[in-house]
Amino acid sequence: MRLTRRGLLATVYGTGLAACAPAAVTPAAVPEASRDLPDATQLASMIRNKEISAAEAVEEAIKRAEATQPQINFMVTDTFAIAREKAKAPVSGPFAGVPFLIKDLDNVAGVVTRFGSAATAGQPPAEKDDAFVAATFAAGLICIGKSAAPENGYLPTTEPLAFPPSKNPWDTTRSTAGSSGGAAAATAAGVVPMAHANDGGGSIRFPAANNGLVGLKPSRGRMIDEEPGARPLDLAVQGVVSRTVRDTAGFFAATEATGGAAVFPAVGMVTGPGKARLKVGVLSTGFGGAEPEAEVAGILQATAKLLEAQGHTLTGSTKWPTAPTFGDDFLAYWSLGAAQDVAGVEKLLGKKADETMVEPFTLRMAANATSLKPADIEALQMRLLAAATAYDEWIKGFDVVISPVFTSPPSPLGFLRGDVPFDTLRERLLHEVGYTLIHNISGAPAMSLPLGWTTGGLPVGIQFSAANGAEKLLLELAYEIEAAQPWIGRKPAVWAG
Q: Which of 203, 403, 411, 442 is catalytic?
A: 203
Verify whether residue 203 is a known catalytic residue.
yes
Considering only CA atoms, which of 492, 471, 476 is closest in space to residue 237? Answer: 471
- 67 Cβ neighbours under 8 A, 6+ residues apart: 496
pLDDT of residue 497: 78
Of the chain, the end-to-end C-alpha distance in Å amounts to: 29
Q: For residue 291, what pLDDT band results from cuts at 50, 70 and 90? A: very high
For the residues 443-466, what does the mean pLDDT come to?
98
Whether the upstream peptide bond of residue 408 has omega within 30° of 0, thus cis, is no
Beta-bridge mates of residue 143: 100
Say if residue 133 is exposed, middle or buried (CB neighbours under 10 Å; 0-12, 13-18, 19+).
buried
**Domains of the chain, with CATH numbers?**
11-484 (3.90.1300.10)
Q: What is the pLDDT of residues 180-208, one digit of tens each?
A: 999 999 999 999 999 999 999 999 999 99
Cα R_g (the chain), whole angstroms:
21
Q: What percent of the chain has pLDDT over 90?
A: 89
Please tell me the predicted confidence (pLDDT) of residue 468. Answer: 97
Check residue 328 and give its pLDDT: 94
Q: Residue 260: its pLDDT value, please?
A: 83
- Over residues 15-47, the pLDDT tens digits come to 222 333 334 444 455 554 445 689 999 999 999
Q: In angstroms, how far is CA 148 from the centroid of its own chain?
A: 13
DSSP class per residue in 349-385: HTS---TTTS-HHHHHHHHHHHT--HHHHHHHHHHHH
SS3 call for 286 = coil
Q: Is 167 a catalytic residue?
A: no
Give the pLDDT score at 195.
99
d(CA 477, CA 245): 10
Confidence at residue 76, expressed as pLDDT on a 0 to 100 scale: 98
Strand partners, 343: none
Q: How high is the pLDDT of residue 227? A: 52
Q: 117, 147, 166, 179: which one is catalytic?
A: 179
279 is catalytic: no
How far apart CA 496 and CA 185 sit, in angstroms, is 11
